[in-house]
Copies of this chain bind each other. A is one copy, B any other.
Amino acid sequence: MKIRAGYQITYDCPVPTPMILVLRVYPSRERDLVVADHPTFDPPLELSEYHDGFGNRCGRILAPAGKLTMSTEFLINDTGEPDIVAPDAEQHALEELPEDVLVYLLGSRYCETDRLLETAWKLFGNAPKGWKLVQTICDYVHDHLTFGYEHAHPARTAFDAFTEKRGVCRDFAHLAVTLCRCMNIPARYCTGYLGDIGVPLADEPMDFSAWLEVYLGKRWYTFDARHNMPRIGRILMARGRDATDVALVTSFGPCTLKSFSVVTEEVA
């Protein structure tokens, strides 16, 4: 399957403003790109790219005063298969986990494991472990939170979402990540493209999406507490401890988002 995807984002900055961008296809998917994912800027400007400590491909720009439009459109090969389901994937004892996944057990800006630890054990302490535990957590988050774009709030943490019982895909992901970590399952936050391929009645406007990956059975698996079903055609952009690390645009100054559109669709 081939997927066409891209975005067009416009900011308005009162003064020249440095920005960090995390807006590229994750390097592990580069081999599948048929038409390159090259961001373009209007007006043109210099982009300096690098990989951060999570393997994400980041860029730095100095956005000029005034409007800046960033866009890309690419074509990518995809297996066309839904997210893998592996009900037998086992949870690792802590002493068996590879060292580089341990950081995904710790708290982070929007995932306050210390504040949700007791809650997590009360809710899930008697649940079966492994894949089923993660699915139980995702079911819980899916049911506990009410989705709504009007509920988006950039500083909302997992604990906030838990108490307010609402949020957007980012909050679903943060809460599921936090609860998994509390239960000693390494979990990381993911962001990327997710179209409505294979979804009968998709009713949401196109946007980037957030989901999570958990470490079970010696590898990372994808879970999605927002949609709570295997999906086709995820195109990973970035991973991190939480949304802090993978913000699409981190602006060092007060800029305004003027417009935003994302496309992700199967190409016949």
Contact call A84/B33, Cβ cutoff below 8 A:
yes
The yes or no answer to A112 lying at the interface (CB within 8 A) is: yes
Known: A33-B219, A95-B60. A244 touches B28 (CB 8 A): no
The yes or no answer to A34 lying at the interface (CB within 8 A) is: yes
Which B residue's beta carbon lies closest to that of A81?
B77
A52: which of B27, B38, B102 is its contact (CB, 8 Å)?
Answer: B102
How many chain copies? 4
The yes or no answer to A164 lying at the interface (CB within 8 A) is: no
Residues of B within 8 A of A260 (CB): none
CB distance from A196 to the nearest CB of B (A): 20
Question: How distant is the Cα of A267 from the Cα of B221 in the complex, in angstroms?
Answer: 23
Question: How distant is the Cα of A41 from the Cα of B84 in the complex, in angstroms?
Answer: 26
Contact call A219/B30, Cβ cutoff below 8 A:
yes
CB distance from A38 to the nearest CB of B (A): 7
The yes or no answer to A200 lying at the interface (CB within 8 A) is: no
CB distance from A189 to the nearest CB of B (A): 13
Contact call A27/B30, Cβ cutoff below 8 A:
no
Residues of B within 8 A of A89 (CB): 36
Contact call A154/B114, Cβ cutoff below 8 A:
yes
Question: How distant is the Cα of A50 from the Cα of B111 in the complex, in angstroms?
Answer: 25
Q: State which residues 73-87 of A face B: CB under 8 Å.
A: 77-79, 81, 84, 86
Which B residue's beta carbon lies closest to that of A184?
B252
The yes or no answer to A179 lying at the interface (CB within 8 A) is: no
Question: How distant is the Cα of A109 from the Cα of B184 in the complex, in angstroms?
Answer: 18
Residues of B within 8 A of A94 (CB): 18, 60, 252
The yes or no answer to A64 lying at the interface (CB within 8 A) is: no
Contact call A50/B98, Cβ cutoff below 8 A:
yes
Q: Pick from A36, A62, A78 the residue with the most CB of B within 10 Å.
A: A36
Residues of B within 8 A of A86 (CB): 36
Contact call B30/A102, Cβ cutoff below 8 A:
no
Closest 4 CB pairs of A and B: A28-B28, A18-B94, A77-B79, A50-B99
